[in-house]
């Protein structure tokens, strides 16, 4: 699987989920260099580089952690929603516990609840050394497509 395919660059078969090829990952995620390596309703994994996403003091911007986490949680919720339905985020919280200054940050999203109308996922974000940098929880509401 190539980086270009997983970021939706050429909308080719991603080997992850066919809807990712159709929808892409979104403009912000693309600008941040996000790569999605795994995507199911139960689990999603993705990365962003620290370089290019730092705040002025050299640390990965807290919002960058949240963008990666929300993207993973929302994509997983949309996989769960299935055809003719879509998921929208209704609540998100983040606790940052460490700062990354270089390398790549990996987000691992795990389903906590997969219901008919709501999903909740926890996303753990780690640095290159496997140290937890941030923990995020997102709840998505599932709606019927109009």
Q: What residues act catalytically?
A: 70
3-class SS of residue 101? coil
Length of the chain: 146
Burial bucket for residue 77 (CB in 10 Å: 0-12, 13-18, 19+): buried
Residue 10: Cβ within 10 Å count: 12
Given a contact cutoff of 8 angstroms between Cβ atoms, the answer to whether 55 and 61 are in contact is yes
């Amino acid at each position: 699987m190539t980086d270009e395919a997983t970021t939706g660059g050429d909308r080719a078969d991603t080997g992850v989920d066919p809807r990712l090829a159709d929808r892409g990952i979104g403009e912000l995620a693309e600008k941040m260099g996000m790569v999605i390596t795994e995507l199911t309703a139960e689990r999603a994994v993705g990365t962003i580089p620290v370089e290019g996403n730092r705040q002025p003091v050299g640390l990965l911007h807290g919002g960058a952690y949240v963008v990666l986490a929300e993207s993973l949680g929302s994509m997983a919720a949309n996989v769960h929603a299935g055809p003719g339905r879509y998921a929208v985020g209704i609540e998100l919280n983040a606790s940052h516990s460490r700062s990354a200054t270089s390398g790549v940050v990996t987000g691992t999203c795990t389903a906590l609840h997969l219901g008919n109308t709501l999903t909740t996922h926890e996303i753990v974000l780690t640095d290159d050394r496997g140290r937890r940098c941030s923990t995020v929880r997102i709840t998505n509401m599932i709606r019927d497509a109009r």
